[in-house]
Amino acid sequence: MIIPAAPVPWPGRARAAASFSFDLDAESAILFADPSSATRMSVMTHQSYGPLVGVPRLLRLLEHHRIRATFFVPGYSAHRHPGAVRDIVAAGHEVAHHGYLHETLTGVDPVTEAGYLDRGLAALEEVAGVRPVGYRAPMWELNYHSPGLLAERGFLYDSSLMDADVPYELATATAAGPTSLVEIPLQWALDDWEQYCYLPGISGSGLIETPAKALALWRAEFDAMRAEGGCFVLTCHPFLSGRPSRAAALGELLAAAAGAPDVWVASLAEIAGHVRSLGLAPRELPPPEPW
Ligand SMILES: [Zn+2]
């Protein structure tokens, strides 16, 4: 029997938490999904808009609202756009792991997956001198063996699963024995990809929603999570939400979060550290039994 995650006490007067995360996929996600896209100059520039223009704009926005965010950076993005990654670190934000070439992990064996993890770690170390404590699986597709690989490499938390409104300790098996990893759940309704991504022949519904529609969706979830005492985790991509009107809409949400006295706005690493300090009993999440 799988036991639901228990409510989490938040620091100080806070009755809920909120975190703003950015996946710096840039070219990597598209190159992995379709290697032939490397020859599509216009598509490549659509992606590089993220680190080139989106990141500076988003860093200004976050600074204005005094919010520390988490940036999940594929190693390939760090190698191709080292200046953007160093600027993120210099601005005081968290840099976390997001694969090397944004490799989808579905059906990938543990040895191959470990190689992706180690290559990504080496890239972040080389470019930004960062040893990340956090991980988010590319395409948010974790394998049941993934948490063990993360724990063996010293990661504190993952943010790729979807079965709770609050973070929890995830029971994790490693070669050295059982341990746990903090899990900070997310959901596709709080991802700008579903609202804005249009890449002809590659990804997206073909619909590009208005910033007002995305803001309304996210604001409703923020208000409800606040009332429920949950952990609101938004995921944006700089090549999408770094565009002017979308960044402006995001700014409205940042203002609402920063102005809510009962909401703890923090990076995912800070939230994970808080959860770890609570000494929660790890939850077991076994794969489905054969049917
Ligand atoms: Zn991604």
C-alpha of residue 49 to centroid of ligand 1, in Å: 15
Please state whether the predicted TM-score (pTM) of the whole model is above 0.95: yes
For residues 245 and 87, give the distance between their C-alpha atoms in angstroms, rounded to a whole number: 23
What pLDDT was estimated at residue 203?
Answer: 75
Which of these, 50, 54, 58, 127, lies nearest to 91 by C-alpha position? 58
What pLDDT was estimated at residue 53?
Answer: 98
Give the angle subtended at the CA of 191 by the CAs of 53 and 36, to the nearest 5°.
65
C-alpha of residue 17 to centroid of ligand 1, in Å: 23
C-alpha of residue 98 to centroid of ligand 1, in Å: 7
Q: What is the pLDDT of residues 146-199, one digit of tens each?
A: 999 999 999 999 999 999 999 999 999 998 999 999 999 999 999 999 999 998
C-beta neighbour count of 122 within 10 angstroms: 13
What pLDDT was estimated at residue 200?
Answer: 85
For residues 36 and 254, give the distance between their C-alpha atoms in angstroms, rounded to a whole number: 37
CB of 267 closer than 8 Å to CB of 152: no
What pLDDT was estimated at residue 204?
Answer: 63
C-alpha of residue 101 to centroid of ligand 1, in Å: 10
Which residues on adjacent β-strands are paired with residue 177? 174
C-alpha of residue 107 to centroid of ligand 1, in Å: 18
CB of 51 closer than 8 Å to CB of 84: yes
Chunked mean pLDDT (size 10), the chain, 291 residues? 96 97 97 95 97 98 98 98 98 98 97 98 98 98 97 98 98 94 98 92 80 98 98 98 98 98 98 98 96 93
Q: What share of the chain is helix, strand, coil (3-state, %, to 5)?
A: 45, 15, 40
C-alpha of residue 264 to centroid of ligand 1, in Å: 25
What pLDDT was estimated at residue 205?
Answer: 65
